[in-house]
Amino acid sequence: MWSSTDIPDQAGRVALITGGYSGIGLVTARELAARGATVVIAGRDRERAAAVAGELGGWPLYLDLGDIGSVRRASGEFRDRFGRLDLLVNNAGLMIPPYGRTGSGFEWQFGVNHLGHFALTGLLLDLLRATPEARVVTVSSNGHKGAVIDFEDLQSERGYDAMRAYRQSKLANLLFAFELQRRHPELISVAAHPGAARTRLLRSSPWVFRVVVSQRTKALFSWLVQSEWAGAQPVLRAATDPGVGGGEYFGPDGWKEFTGRATRVTAEENAHDLVVARRLWVVSEGLTGVTYPAGAGMLADGP
């Protein structure tokens, strides 16, 4: 079975990781840097990004995914420094916080988890397309299962259910990853999820969740929740395994994909709905103001 010991040499590759200073993103950054990649640590916390970038010999990049203006500035700064982008890991995210809106006016989870990454990928798309064998890895969740995209209330203005909004955003991640591959087959666009991992992502969760992921209960719930390192393995496989193909999805191989070794998994049918994916794409372009160029896939298939 695959593990991070199988990661090939990454020398010469440039990897941009959103949220690369904590949790799954930090493990991913460290593993890539250890194998020679130049890592760009992108996020809102300037000090933490600078500290991790310094530790890994990489670069910090200020990026607020909730502010489309910030996303534009960050992509411009990246362009000024680097002439290539081998790997974009759309990792940063929020999970079931209290209701709030981003700087661009979007519901927090939909805005940060999906729209910010949609905009960032689009603004860096030409660099990705110009870099041979470039990959985009979008981190989703088991939470996409049973979720729907509520086009009539994307911003949860009619009533906020934190978990429902989270699940919608994670379904949006998968719809985006698979649609990106269809539109731009010259890239490798894949998705991954960490299963149930013990990270800071659950800091806003109900008390029952916090108990389960607490370090104090680690031994009791080891069958249900795994470490940050283990949770990062599907992301790392998606990012580095030479055998990965576009449109694939990776997660743990254990019970209900909560824990286990990194393997190919199957997204639910709702993540492969072409009508929903294309409608979400058009809506996302309208909301962010980031328009993607026509790709080879769309030229072949039509809009």
pTM of the model: 0.92
Measured CA distances, 194 to 103, 237, 256, 259 (Å): 28, 11, 12, 8
Given this model, what pLDDT does residue 223 score? 42
Q: What are phi and psi of 249, to 5 degrees?
A: -140, 135
User: Which residues is 43 bridged to in the sheet?
Assistant: 62
Confidence of residue 48 (pLDDT cuts 50, 70, 90): very high
Confidence of residue 219 (pLDDT cuts 50, 70, 90): very low
Q: Is 166 a catalytic residue?
A: yes
pLDDT tens by residue, 96-135: 999 999 999 999 999 999 999 999 999 999 999 999 999 9
Given this model, what pLDDT does residue 241 score? 98
pLDDT tens by residue, 51-95: 999 999 999 999 999 999 999 999 999 999 999 999 999 999 999
pLDDT tens by residue, 150-202: 999 999 999 999 999 999 999 999 999 999 999 999 999 999 999 887 665 55
Q: pLDDT exceeding 90 applies to what percent of the chain?
A: 82
As a residue count, the chain comes to 303
- Integer Cα distance of 17 and 28 in angstroms: 8
What CATH number labels 11-292?
3.40.50.720
- Integer Cα distance of 64 and 83 in angstroms: 22
Given this model, what pLDDT does residue 240 score? 98
Of 21, 166, 249, 292, catalytic: 166
What is the full DSSP assignment across 274-285? HHHHHHHHHHHH
Given this model, what pLDDT does residue 205 score? 53
Given this model, what pLDDT does residue 255 score? 87
> What is the SS3 string spanning 119-180?
HHHHHCHHHHHHCCCCEEEEECCHHHCCCCCCCCCCCCCCCCCHHHHHHHHHHHHHHHHHHH
Mean pLDDT over 5-33 rounds to 97
pLDDT tens by residue, 242-284: 999 999 999 999 888 899 999 999 999 999 999 999 999 999 9
What is the full DSSP assignment across 253-280? -SGGGSSSSEEE----GGGG-HHHHHHH
Q: Which residue has the tokens 């941009």?
A: 16
Measured CA distances, 239 to 66, 235, 245 (Å): 24, 6, 11
Measured CA distances, 141 to 53, 84, 155, 235, 290 (Å): 26, 29, 20, 11, 25
Given this model, what pLDDT does residue 196 score? 83
**Angle between helix 228-240 and helix 23-34 axes, rounded to 10 deg:** 50
Which residues, at least 6 apart from 76, have a Cβ–Cβ distance to it below 8 Å? Answer: none
Do residues 89 and 257 make contact, with C-beta atoms less than 8 angstroms apart? no
Residue 178 sits at the vertex; the CA angle it makes with 295 and 63, to the nearest 5 degrees, is: 85
Given this model, what pLDDT does residue 254 score? 86
Nearest to 79 by CA among 20, 38, 123, 137: 123
Residue 218 has pLDDT above 60, yes or no: no
